[in-house]
Amino acid sequence: MDAEYKQKVQNMEDQMAIDRLEKIYGYYLDNSMNQEVVDLFSDNAESVEIMSRGVFKGKAGIKKFFLDYLGRRRDTLTKPGGMGFHTQHQGVITVAPDGKTAKGRWYLVMIMAMAIEDKENGPLRSVLGNGVYENEFVKEDGVWKFSKMFMSLHFLSPIAEGWTSIPAIGQGLAPGADAPSTAFHPYPNIQKVPVHWKHPVTGK
């Protein structure tokens, strides 16, 4: 097996491993397995930024977001009738030539039953959401991990009213964020998140 062929096979295996990592993250998140989510990140991870919640920096910030903040909030989805499905589609993964880092992009669809007005005691509402992930990864000791996570929200809306009436429910800066969100432009002001790849035909 020549070196070029081996590199192509390794690249394909790396892409499959990264896509699997991303999908496993979604399953853990849906089931409030927040420590397992944190363990998917490198100890040298740069940051996590989700919707309008702000930027949480370093592994300490990632723990703060998923365990201290999101871990408590997602308890509202575990009460009777509550649910949250977090599915990722149309993945495009680009592994660096040295095989040590990578970038990936996925569309996100969220289908939830959650309380909106009164999160503790209010009635559950049917909620639909959409956004896009642009994430970065690092390979450590042969294992791919998240090094940076960014999700831009397009809408998060009660199904009854829809995103043209209520574009984004429950948004705002999360307690403990290290910095405000760098990009938050839900419907109708959706802005394209730059893609990480070059055009496959023109190379631009």
SS3 126: strand
CATH architecture of 3-158: Roll (3.10)
Query: Residue type for 108, please?
Result: L
For the record, the structure tokens of 33 come out as 């397995």
**Please, which pLDDT band fits residue 116 given cuts at 50, 70 and 90?**
confident
What separation, in Å, do the N-terminal and C-terminal C-alpha atoms of the chain show? 32
pLDDT in tens, 53-107: 999 999 999 999 999 998 776 556 667 888 889 999 999 999 999 999 999 999 9
- Rounded to whole angstroms, the Cα distance separating 180 from 68 reads 18
User: What residue spans define the domains of the chain?
Assistant: 3-158
**Residue 75: per-residue pLDDT:** 56
* Bond before 80 cis per omega within 30 degrees: no
